[in-house]
Amino acid sequence: MNKYKKITLDGLIFQNPTFMLVLGTCPTLGLISSAFSAMGMGLTVIVILTLSNVLISLLRKLIPNEVRIPCYIVIIATLVTFARMLLEKFVPDLYDSLGGFLALIVVNCIILGRAEAFANKHNPLEAAVDGIANGLGFTCALTVMGVVCEFLGKGSLFGYHIMDFKIGMLATPAGAFIVYGLSIALFVYVIDVFQRARRVKANKLARENLMTQGVE
Amino acid sequence: MTVKQFFKSTAFKCIMALLAILLVCGVFLTAMYGFLKVTEGEKLYRAVGKIYSGESVKIYGIRDGQEVEISKNDEKPVSMIAAPVKVANAEVSDVYKVTYDKDGATVLNYLAKSTGNGGFSNGTVTLWVAVTADAGETDTVITGINKIIIDSNVNQSFIGNIGSGFLDSFAEGYTDGIYYTTEAGYKVTGTSMSSNAICNAVNGAITCVDVNVLGHSRVNPFENFTHTDLINCDLSSYVVNDDNSVTYTIVTNGYVMAGAFTLEIVVAEDKTVRTFTIIKNGSTSSATEDYKLKMFAVETEFVGKNLEYFTALMADGWKHPSSGELKTGATNSNYNCAYAAAFALENYDNCIAAKEGA
């Protein structure tokens, strides 16, 4: 498989940070009661994750191994502070809705995890692809759960009223926890079915090859 | 370790790497802060923009006694009031004069940021209240309410139930001199205590603009009366009867878990309670216990009692009692009623003096 395709599929699906690795749980539970906030947080993480991955990859040979974690945190904190300034200036509604969770991106496990596990071992292009893929995986997961929680919990979608029926608890962090758990179960089940089907197909192909070789 | 060895060591490389990254990041953020700083003036214009969406507004405050236009670049926009104003059950922190053109005429509004007390769990609701005014030749008067939006809240778990329709009803129901109350229908079922805080905030905004900005005086029937802490002076009233008895209609403030009571208390000439009637019981009920049932039998027990009786029921200084007859499991409600009765008795002479003065 193409190297970049594998990085992308890992970030989006097979190593999805939210559903498969269960990272970034704090903003997930705090923000998925609103689809707008969830998507906004996801998009912000994409930008910060991509930039931090690229910067850390570029500096990986200059940063001594002993102080790599403090250096990563300083870089990530700078990017988060910059993102906060940009959002407060140009997208104040999103800035207000994200609240304290925006500052907490500094200690987001996904960003620090990708820096430590991937960016400091790969070149900037691969690190950028990894950042985008993982960020997209995180954004998609948050947005899907945000849509479910907002639709069922508030009867609206992205702030637009849809229906009067609502299950208020789903718009709270406790309800988000339930939706998060069910989403993980569903995602893992779908991936499992998909991988099993792929294994069956591969085994069938191998058997056919063996039989063909046997006939010859 | 020699100096030379130190400069070649890993420790030195680590320090230099960290310092270099810190320096670059610090310089970058400092430079960006200059470009991206959001001033207080800009924040004010954003808040105002939510209220007057689509309008090109001008905002004014008062600096050194002169009306000045506030720009987006102002670091500290000045308000029309020098300091926060406390009014009954509310505090108004800022008032701005706002003008905009509509249909060829200039519309005048006063925009007040008002925090109403008496919400759920003793919390507050902060509103932006846009009060419309008409600048006449000699006097500027309030003509109604343009719009209300919620700015923030404290402890109001069900504030999400408050919709724009409810907030718009304040503008539709504006009547000069009449205050908004939950009893008058300004409440959302299930969120009545937050509704109460909203009513208080709106009333506070109107009073502050009228008195502190436009300079009008509002007649306070309870001026010089004592112990008014738990009494809503805006909504309470009294009448001196022909037999020199005084009939009070008292609306109390909410106290901790107890909501506002509306009481009718008649004080006889011998300064005892002749009748004590609960018109609206502010005692809150829960699913497991009804606090109204736990209340002291105030309507019968309080009749015929004098001021000494009520002060003895309360702690020193008319404070909430920690023991005694009022501790029935609905102490806050009992205390509210006892306080109102004591207030009525203590101020009997003030009522008579006010009538004679008139």
Q: Give the whole-angstrom CA distance, residue B38 versus residue A46.
A: 24
pLDDT value for B15: 92
- B10 close contact with A: CB closer than 8 A: yes
Q: Is residue B132 situated within a structural domain? A: yes
pLDDT band at A167 (very low <50, low <70, confident <90, very high): confident
Cβ-Cβ contacts under 8 Å, A89 against chain B: 36, 38
pLDDT value for B64: 84
Which two structure tokens, joined as six digits, stand for B82?
Answer: 């020098």
pLDDT value for A173: 82
**Cα–Cα distances in Å, from B258 out to A37, B194, B235?**
37, 14, 18
pLDDT value for B327: 84
> Does position A69 have pLDDT exceeding 70, yes or no?
yes
Contact indicator for B341, B305 with CB cutoff of 8 Å: yes
B161 and B296 in a single domain? The answer is: no
Whether residues A74 and B21 touch (CB distance < 8 A) is answered with: yes
Residue B47 CB neighbour total at 10 angstroms: 17
Report the residue of chain A nearest B13, measured CA to CA: A64
Q: Give the whole-angstrom CA distance, residue B97 versus residue B44.
A: 12
Report the residue of chain B nearest A93, measured CA to CA: B46
Mutation pick from A33, A72, A78 vs chain B, by most beta carbons of B within 10 Å, is A78
Q: Give the whole-angstrom CA distance, residue B146 versus residue B152.
A: 19
Q: Give the whole-angstrom CA distance, residue B95 versus residue B84.
A: 9
Q: Is residue B62 situated within a structural domain? A: yes
pLDDT value for B246: 94
For A119-163, the pLDDT digits (tens) are 989 999 999 999 999 999 999 999 999 999 999 988 888 888 888
Report the residue of chain B nearest A166, measured CA to CA: B161
How far apart are the CA of B17 and the nearest CA of chain A, in angstroms? 6
What is the rounded end-to-end Cα distance, in angstroms, of chain B? 96
B117-156 CB burial, b ≥16 within 10 A, e <16: bbbbeebbbbbbbbbbbeeeeeebebebbbbbebeebbeb
- What's the CA angle centered on B200, arms A96 and B125, to 5 degrees? 20
Non-local CB neighbours of B97 within 8 Å, separated by 6+ positions = B59, B60, B61, B67, B80, B108, B109, B110, B111, B213
Domain count, chain A: 1
Range of the domain at B191: 41-213
Report the residue of chain A nearest B50, measured CA to CA: A93
Q: Give the whole-angstrom CA distance, residue B272 versus residue B345.
A: 7
- A88 close contact with B: CB closer than 8 A: yes
- Point out the residue among B13, B32, B38 whose CB comes nearest to the CB of A64: B13
B109 and B166 in a single domain? The answer is: yes
Cβ-Cβ contacts under 8 Å, B29 against chain A: 78, 81-82
ipTM over 0.90: no
For A71-103, the pLDDT digits (tens) are 999 999 999 999 999 999 998 888 888 877 888
For A99-118, the pLDDT digits (tens) are 778 888 888 888 999 999 99
Q: Beta B105-116 vs B90-102: how paired, if at all?
A: antiparallel
B263 and B115 in a single domain? The answer is: no
B61 and B102 in a single domain? The answer is: yes
DSSP secondary-structure letter at B110? E
Q: How many residues does chain A have?
A: 216
Whether residues A86 and B38 touch (CB distance < 8 A) is answered with: no
Q: Give the whole-angstrom CA distance, residue B114 versus residue B84.
A: 9
Q: Is residue B203 situated within a structural domain? A: yes
Domain count, chain B: 2
> Does position A171 have pLDDT exceeding 70, yes or no?
yes
Strand partners, B278: B263
B195 and B119 in a single domain? The answer is: yes
DSSP secondary-structure letter at B67? E
Q: Give the whole-angstrom CA distance, residue B50 versus residue B127.
A: 12
pLDDT value for A79: 95
Mutation pick from B15, B33, B36, B149 vs chain A, by most beta carbons of A within 10 Å, is B36
- Point out the residue among B13, B18, B28 whose CB comes nearest to the CB of A78: B28
Contact indicator for B130, B142 with CB cutoff of 8 Å: no
B142 and B248 in a single domain? The answer is: no
How far apart are the CA of B183 and the nearest CA of chain A, in angstroms? 27
Q: Is residue B288 situated within a structural domain? A: yes
B78 and B208 in a single domain? The answer is: yes
Q: Give the whole-angstrom CA distance, residue A125 versus residue A131.
A: 10
DSSP secondary-structure letter at B19? H
Whether residues A70 and B18 touch (CB distance < 8 A) is answered with: yes
Cβ-Cβ contacts under 8 Å, B18 against chain A: 67, 70-71, 74
pLDDT value for B285: 59
Q: Give the whole-angstrom CA distance, residue A176 versus residue A144.
A: 12
- A92 close contact with B: CB closer than 8 A: yes
Non-local CB neighbours of A208 within 8 Å, separated by 6+ positions = none
Residue B352 CB neighbour total at 10 angstroms: 14
For A21-58, the pLDDT digits (tens) are 888 888 888 888 888 889 999 999 999 999 999 999 99
Q: Give the whole-angstrom CA distance, residue A64 versus residue A71.
A: 9
How far apart are the CA of A63 and the nearest CA of chain B, in angstroms? 6
Q: Give the whole-angstrom CA distance, residue B252 versus residue B242.
A: 26
| Closest CA relative to residue B148, chosen from B93, B199, B193 | B199
Cβ-Cβ contacts under 8 Å, A92 against chain B: 38, 46
Contact indicator for B102, B52 with CB cutoff of 8 Å: no
B255-294 CB burial, b ≥16 within 10 A, e <16: bebbbbbbbebbbbeeebbbebebeebbbbeeeeeebeee
B349 and B264 in a single domain? The answer is: yes
Q: Is residue B16 situated within a structural domain? A: no
How far apart are the CA of B32 and the nearest CA of chain A, in angstroms? 7
Q: In a structure prediction context, what are the per-residue pLDDT tens digits for chain B, which is 358 residues long?
A: 788 888 888 899 999 999 999 999 999 999 999 889 888 888 888 888 888 887 888 899 888 888 888 888 888 888 889 889 888 789 999 999 999 888 888 889 999 999 998 888 888 999 999 999 988 878 888 889 999 988 888 888 777 778 888 888 898 888 776 778 776 778 887 788 889 899 999 999 998 998 888 888 777 778 788 888 888 887 788 899 999 999 999 988 777 777 778 899 999 999 999 999 998 887 765 555 677 778 888 888 999 999 999 999 898 888 888 888 888 888 888 998 999 999 999 999 999 988 877 6
Q: Give the whole-angstrom CA distance, residue A42 versus residue A17.
A: 12
- Point out the residue among A74, A92, A171 whose CB comes nearest to the CB of B25: A74
B129 and B59 in a single domain? The answer is: yes
Whether residues A85 and B25 touch (CB distance < 8 A) is answered with: no
Instruction: Give B 151-190 residues with CB within 8 A of chain A.
Output: 160
pLDDT value for A98: 81
Cβ-Cβ contacts under 8 Å, A85 against chain B: 32-33, 36-37
> Does position A1 have pLDDT exceeding 80, yes or no?
no
Q: Is residue B21 situated within a structural domain? A: no
- A99 close contact with B: CB closer than 8 A: no
Taking phi first (over 0 means left), then psi (-120 to 50 degrees means alpha), and beta for anything else, what does residue B335 get?
alpha
Our measurement of the distance from residue B280's CA atom to the centroid of its chain's CA atoms, rounded to an integer in Å, reads 21
How far apart are the CA of A133 and the nearest CA of chain B, in angstroms? 26
Contact indicator for B194, B119 with CB cutoff of 8 Å: yes
Instruction: Give A 8-67 residues with CB within 8 A of chain B.
Output: 59, 62-64, 66-67
pLDDT value for A131: 94
Rg (CA), chain A: 20
B198 and B256 in a single domain? The answer is: no
Q: Give the whole-angstrom CA distance, residue A61 versus residue A43.
A: 29
Q: Give the whole-angstrom CA distance, residue B115 versus residue B269.
A: 40
pLDDT value for A168: 79
Contact indicator for B59, B20 with CB cutoff of 8 Å: no
Contact indicator for A127, A53 with CB cutoff of 8 Å: yes
> Does position A6 have pLDDT exceeding 80, yes or no?
yes
Cβ-Cβ contacts under 8 Å, B21 against chain A: 59, 63, 71, 74-75
Contact indicator for A48, A76 with CB cutoff of 8 Å: yes
Torsion of CA B197, B198, B204, B206, to 10 degrees: -160
- B279 close contact with A: CB closer than 8 A: no
**Cα–Cα distances in Å, from B108 out to A82, A188, B129, B147?**
39, 60, 13, 13
Contact indicator for B292, B286 with CB cutoff of 8 Å: no
B205 and B90 in a single domain? The answer is: yes
B204 and B252 in a single domain? The answer is: no
Range of the domain at A161: 3-215
